[in-house]
Amino acid sequence: MECELDSRALKSDEQLMAAYVAGEAAAFDELFARYAPILLRVMRQQLHSQEEANDLVQQTFLQLHRARHDFRSDAKLRPWLFTIALNLKREHLRRLKRRPETELTLDGRNDPKVGSEAGRLEATRTLEFAFEKLHPSYREVIELHWLAQLSFAEIAELLGATVSAVKVRAHRGYAALREILQDGVE
Amino acid sequence: MNCDQVRDHLLEGRVAETPEVQQHAAECSACHELVATRGLVEALRAGAPSANGAGQLGQLQAQVRAELSRETSGPARLRSMRTRTRLLLALALIVAIGVVEGTLLARADMPFVPTEHLLPMLGILGLLAVAAAWVALRPLFRPALPRSFELVVLLLCLSVPAALSFVQPDTGHHPSVDGFGADFFHHAGACLVHGLTLAVLVWLAFRALDRQALGSGLGALVGGMAGAVVATLGLQLHCAIPAAPHWLFGHAGVGAIVLVGLWIRQRL
């Protein structure tokens, strides 16, 4: 049993997906264990509600299941899965467009104290505020690079852009993010 | 060190001042910005919403499993088919409607309809219906289409059937024969009902084929409008009344009613 679990953990995402398409339900659980935490991090940005994030992650895995026969063996699963997730998130945000903006200010804030729970909460809110201020195209790249931990090449594939264009957006995005955080804290 | 290793190095909370990181940052502007401010990196690291605890993840996994266990019905199997197969099924439905309307339910003056009118009309409406099906059934693992493109297809689905109302074939059938005067609403109403039936049939089929059941957004509106385009195509083959007011009300009216219906559905 343990050996079986270990062998699944050693398999690549693509091998797991192929196994799932072939009918091995446990492979889906392994994919869930690998990607649910990362997807939750990505979904939590801009959504402010854990429930909405959970719902979108659930939808992402449901869509992965429905699209399983479209998965080509030579394709990479990660960009595939994140395209589904981002499309669902984009659609969800469009539906919420008329919802009033969350009022978050950075006035009087100090640097987050990493480690303590209060500091962590403060840092989360600071970051949410900063992400909201970012241009959507910069935000998208930073979410995928930092929170989803995709490589620049994977982000480029996912967004249909060149690696150098993605790097330029990341450069500008991180610079803008730093500026927002510094302006807010000072 | 490459970009990913620098990011992972920082994510692990390690110092940015190592020679390897500094050397990479000097060559890569994106990573240079990332490591430029230690405070930023700390804020990003601390502020990145952590994943749920193991218990909550387990609960989410149970919900996903429950959702998947419901995916065994006929419609669920249809949605899980390859995208190519789903598009072919949609195309088959469009062709089937065209064949039935053009043969079993064909207009009385069909033998007199000039080919140079019939073929371009069928071609334009058929292409538009296929384009709308392609937009509506596009899988989520593909990058989203630009909204402007979806909007153009939506506008074409609405305007082309209306514009075709003014292009009537000359079959020697005089407008005064029927479809006018006291008969106008009777005939136009019959065409409207016929068209709406076809549009709803196509919409239901596309809804069954779409992996999000034509949930929301412009893509869903385009999916609904595909039904209206196919309805117009069917009515062109079915109705022999060559009068623009009849076609505007009884044929192009289908598109307007479908659009309003879909818009209301999305708002509810």
Q: Does A68 reach chain B within 8 Å, measured CB to CB?
A: yes
Q: Looking at the complex, report in whole angstroms how far the Cα of residue B201 sits from the nearest Cα belonging to chain A.
A: 23
3-state class (DSSP) for residue B91: helix
pLDDT higher than threshold 70 for residue B177: no
Distance from CA of B185 to the nearest CA of A (A): 39
Does residue A66 sit in the same domain as residue A158?
Answer: no
Q: How much is the mean pLDDT over chain B? A: 85
Q: Write the CB contacts of B67 (distance below 8 Å, at least 6 apart in sequence).
A: A58, A61, A62
Query: Which of A91, A93, A98, A167 should we substitute to test contact with B (largest number of B Cβ atoms within 10 Å)?
Result: A91
Q: What is the mean pLDDT of residues A161-171?
A: 88
Domain that includes residue A55, residue range: 1-98
Please tell me whether the interface predicted TM-score (ipTM) of this complex is above 0.85. no
As a whole number, mean pLDDT of residues A32-40 equals 90
Q: What is the CATH number of the domain that holds A27?
A: 1.10.1740.10
Nearest CA in chain B to A66: B80
A107 belongs to a structural domain: no
pLDDT for position B54: 62
The DSSP symbol for A101 reads P
**For position A118, what pLDDT does the model report?**
63
Q: Which of residues B101 and A136 earns the better pLDDT score?
A: B101
Structure tokens at B92: 């088959």
Which domain-ending residue is among A98, A130, A152? A98
Assess whether A159 and A185 both reside in one domain: yes
Please check whether residues A7 and A79 belong to one and the same domain: yes
Residues in chain B: 268
Q: Does B141 touch chain A (CB under 8 A)?
A: yes
* Alpha carbon distance A136, A93 (integer Å): 12
> A91 and A135 share a domain?
no
The percentage of chain A sitting over the pLDDT mark of 70, rounded to a whole number, equals 77
The verdict on A80 and A34 lying in the same domain is: yes
B-chain CB neighbours of A38 within 8 Å are 51
Domains: count for chain A: 2
pLDDT at B142 over 50: yes
The answer to whether the CB atoms of A95 and B50 lie below 8 A apart is no
CA nearest neighbour of B124 among B212, B260, B229, B254:
B229
What percent of chain A has a predicted confidence (pLDDT) above 90? 25
A109 occurs within a structural domain: no
**Number of Cα atoms under 13 Å in the Cβ half of residue A68:** 25
A83 shares its domain with A160: no
C-alpha Rg value of chain B to the nearest Å = 28
The last residue of one of the domains, among A32, A63, A98, is: A98
A105 falls within a domain: no
The last residue of a domain, from among A38, A65, A98: A98
Structural domain contains residue A106: no
Alpha carbon of B22: minimum distance to chain A alpha carbons (Å):
16
B49–A45 CB contact, under 8 Å: yes
**Residue B144 DSSP class:** P
Do A133 and A82 sit in the same domain of this protein?
Answer: no
Tell me if A56 is assigned to some domain.
Answer: yes
Least reliable range by pLDDT among A14-18, A24-28, B38-42: B38-42
Answer yes or no: do A135 and A62 share one domain: no
Q: What is the pLDDT of residue A113?
A: 42
Contacts of A119 in chain B (CB under 8 A): 46
Q: Pick the most confident of A174-178, B10-14, B76-80.
A: B76-80
Tokens of B266: 């999305």
